[in-house]
Chain A
Amino acid sequence: MKHVTEYRDAALVKGVIAEIQRLVTRPWVIMEICGGQTHAIMRYGLDQLLPDEIELVHGPGCPVCVTPLELIDKALAISSMPDVIFTSYGDMLRVPGSQNDLFSVRANSGDVRVVYSPLDAVRIARENPDKEVVFFAIGFETTAPANAMSVLQAHSSGLHNYSVLVSHVRVPPAMDAILSSPHNRVQAFLAAGHVCAVMGYWEYPRIAQQYRIPVVVTGFEPLDIAQGILMAVRQLEQGSYVVDNAYSRVVTFAGNQPAQAVINQVFVECDRKWRGIGMIPNSGWRLRPEFHDYDAETRFSVSQINPDESPLCIAGQILQGLKLPHHCPAFGTLCTPEQPLGATMVSSEGACAAYYRYARVER
């Protein structure tokens, strides 16, 4: 397939890895932010080809993993109500709340539907005027424009039976949080290419300078990731800390400005709790007051739901790059994709799931 297969070419990947090998003189810890990159690394076994000096740690960029428990419990409460059609990206159905998951709600005759786009949810609302249609608007900067657009469409067409349960998160504040931790081990970042396709990378020079850390905007194919690592290693070895773009076929400095405008029209920054990590200031988006009518939390009076998580898994430390999945005593024994203890094992982008699926033999 054009523009895909070239980036999976074994000879090209090996060439870049040979260059990394040639440059590297000491151990470095590099974090890929995005769960999609984690999966590509494990799926292609890229980590096996890298020199021992390079340690990849896996970042918090899995939208499913970091959606807080309370939001999932709110989703479960709303989807169990009569006359509600609850729509969601497929991944979210598997994530357990404190008692239940959306699969169970469906098995107990809740109307839970997987959609590929929030605009499908708007269509369902239009086709079912006697039902309340709710979309679970989660994710990073990548899903925010389409989620925002669904609210604008509902608004402009006077659709009153559509609302969104919002749990949007933003990457840069999470990078701040990781780098501010006294336990931080991360020495360079591979920034998430899809996030930057929307947002550009104008938010990152401040981070690179403030924490003196290289940031490389990186894509998702094996060659993209190898190239991102190479550019990070080059900076690390030279002692420089700027923002490089290894994904220039998709990402520009300014990003997709119409998409950013839609986000800003509908959402405003807010503090957000990240599952397993805790509250990070200004790390999320919520609906602007003028779109309050589309907020499912108020429409269905679920804002009081606020469950506690109880102790077992180390997902939070994994999402901050402090531990790797196989360091967890429950990994692969008590905690499997069929019986997940944590969201990192549940989501197809979660780091634990990636290790479990692709790399159990080696470790």
Chain B
Amino acid sequence: MVDDPMSIQGLVCPLPLPHKAQIVMGHGSGGTMSNDLIQRVFFSAFDNSILAAGNDAGSCRVNPGTRLAISTDSHVVSPLIFPGGDIGRLAVCGTVNDVSMLGALPLFLSAGFILEEGLDVAILERVVDSMNQAASEAAVQIVAGDTKVVQRGKGDGLYINTTGIGLIRDGLVIGGEHAQPGDTIILSGSIGDHGIAVLAARGELGFETNITSDVAPLNSLVNSMLAVSERIHVLRDPTRGGLATSLNEIARQSQRSIVIDENAIPVRKAVNAACEILGFDPLYVANEGKLVAIIHPDDAERTLQAMRSHPLGKGAVVIGHVEPSPAGRVLMKTRIGSTRIVDMLSGEMLPRIC
């Protein structure tokens, strides 16, 4: 039996595991481990103010009148084809969306393909075809490309990197650092669709769902918002790490507090059910066709209306507001009326034991 608890041997823990010496999957989660890697390895090496701003795209002044938004994204999804899209559509939309989150007009993309020996050309053709279709939806041109082939077993069929360039409209200053106390936070629709659709397509759920990925280019939705408001302070598409991680990034960049209402956040029934079964929180599940906007409160209502009349913003809702403190934190009013912290995803999202 346990005697005096203070004298029990083994009231102690093993050494910490910082995972600083070797890459583990958690470094790719989009959460705290990814951020830490980016800060330590990349930001310290590529030290410049454009990168250090930490937004979805870099804002680069090329001459006094012209600012470019530049962003790049590598796509490594498995399976290559999933309900609602494929890696090609994802590769175009992901980068178009990152460029759009500075309020820029995306113009040109490059595409780099890493193909694994043995890949079926029919799959490649289908993927390229949907890239083409997504590019025409987004009204961007794919103007440069590269192809490399790696040995069988050295790749996962097909990886695609895309880089996008867009033109930032005159006078627009949009970025995570610009969230202001009192601003209204709008979410463009339901969360978690993409992440659960991909999990289901991997056959890992053990049950079937009819959830499809929300992958879509958001630039025309952004256009319709910018047409009614010049006071959009932040735009962000909550991809890896989900809504919770995006809001935490904004809270940290702006050193403000983000307060959201659990009851206001739309989650599809099927997504919610899958998350309940697996022990996931929809706040951390990836999206590929949703955005969060932080807007001056006087412009919120008309921006919301503009979003709702756009096909990709039909489900837009106000989910919260910005407060001055506690700086860098995201708080959520829970369903039962208490308040709790919403943290960043820390490492890989893992299903719970029971």
Contact = CB atoms under 8 A, between A and B. Distances in A.
B335 to A, nearest CB: 5
Contacts of B279: 348
9 contacts: A14-B336, A90-B351, A143-B353, A180-B1, A278-B8, A281-B1, A310-B12, A315-B13, A359-B340
> Which of B10, B15, B279 has its CB near the most chain A CB atoms (within 10 A)?
B10
A89 B353 contact: yes
Contact of B19 (A48, A97, A98, A104): A104
A43 to B, nearest CB: 6
A234 B28 CA distance: 49
Contacts, number: 202
Interface in B249-273: 269, 272-273
Nearest to B329: A361
Contacts of A316: 5, 8, 10-12
Contacts of A48: 338-339
Interface string A326-363: 00000000111111111100001100000011111100
Interface stretch (B100-108, B130-138, B311-319, B341-349): B341-349
Contacts of A1: 269, 272-273, 276
A348 to B, nearest CB: 5
Interface in B1-43: 1-6, 8-19, 22-26, 32-33, 36
Interface in A93-142: 93-94, 96-101, 103-104, 106-108, 114, 116-117, 138-140, 142
Given A94-B350, A114-B351, A8 B14 contact: no
Nearest to B31: A338
A114 B279 CA distance: 14
Interface residues of A, number: 89
B354 A317 contact: no
Interface in B286-343: 326, 329, 331, 334-341, 343
Given A1-B272, A176-B1, A337-B347, A63 B16 contact: no
Given A43-B340, A183-B5, 6 more contacts: A1-B269, A96-B14, A116-B206, A312-B13, A314-B11, A359-B340
> Which of B1, B8, B9, B12 has its CB near the most chain A CB atoms (within 10 A)?
B12
B340 A358 contact: yes
Interface of B: 1-6, 8-19, 22-26, 32-33, 36, 204, 206, 269, 272-273, 276, 278-279, 326, 329, 331, 334-341, 343, 346-348, 350-354
A183 B17 contact: no
A277 B4 CA distance: 11
Given A46-B338, A194-B354, A316-B8, A117 B206 contact: yes
Contact of B341 (A314, A320, A361): A361
A4 B276 contact: yes
Contacts of A107: 22-25
Contacts of B204: 116
A45 B276 contact: no
A56 interface: no
B12 A312 contact: yes
A36 B19 contact: no
> Which of B6, B13, B204, B339 has its CB near the most chain A CB atoms (within 10 A)?
B13
A152 interface: no
Nearest to B26: A103
Given A176-B1, A194-B354, A348-B352, A183 B14 contact: no
Contacts of B206: 116-117
Contacts of B19: 103-104
B12 A222 contact: no
Contact of A49 (B3, B33, B338): B338
A315 B12 CA distance: 7
A46 B273 CA distance: 23
A103 B24 contact: yes
A103 B25 contact: yes
A32 to B, nearest CB: 15
Contacts of A180: 1-2
Interface string A170-182: 0000001110111
Interface in A231-280: 273, 275-278, 280
Contacts of A149: none
A42 interface: yes
A201 B6 CA distance: 31
A4 B273 CA distance: 10
B16 A339 contact: yes
A199 interface: no
A199 B191 CA distance: 37
B191 to A, nearest CB: 16
A96 B341 contact: no
A207 to B, nearest CB: 14
